[in-house]
Amino acid sequence: MQTILLDLDIYPFQIDFMGHVINTVYIQWMDVGLVKLLEAVAMPTHEIAQRGFAPVLVQTQITYKLPLYLGDRPQVELWLSELRGASAVMQFRFHNDQQVLVAEGQQTGLFVNTQTMRPKRLTAEEKALFTAYLEPISD
């Protein structure tokens, strides 16, 4: 299974009054990860929007383990743990520059038809594009 790895930057406006990265920044990083995953499978957001569908997030969960600070060089790793007809579950691990796990999370997304706003089932060909990033099912 392949994963998407992104090196992240931390900017002063992403720091809260406690001196560490604001929790909502992790959600923004997850959104960047989704865009990068779609690009990696040859389904960039602007192209699928032209084809009449788009990803919509329906759930986000994050567990924070350690803070990140200005000057840290974090990295996020992501992959799919589930891929169904119209939905997917993405897994995320955030590490600091010492490769210590600082947070982990998951997002459930749904593809929707942009005209009807109803779920849009992926074709077999579209689903196949994600196979390399899909976690194998363990017995």
Helix (H) or strand (E) holding 48: helix 45-50
- The average pLDDT across 31-54 equals 95
User: What would the pLDDT profile of 97-121 be if each residue is shown by its tens digit?
Assistant: 999 999 999 999 999 999 999 999 9
Q: What percent of the chain has pLDDT over 90?
A: 97
User: What would the pLDDT profile of 61-100 be if each residue is shown by its tens digit?
Assistant: 999 999 999 999 999 999 999 999 999 999 999 999 999 9
* Total-model pTM: 0.93
Confidence (pLDDT) at 49: 92
DSSP-based three-state secondary structure for 93:
strand
- The average pLDDT across 12-41 equals 96
Task: Report whether 83 contacts 35 (CB < 8 A).
Answer: no
Which CATH architecture is the domain 4-133 placed in? Answer: Roll (3.10)
Confidence (pLDDT) at 137: 76
Residue 124: pLDDT above 80? yes
- The average pLDDT across 18-22 equals 96
Helix (H) or strand (E) holding 30: helix 23-40
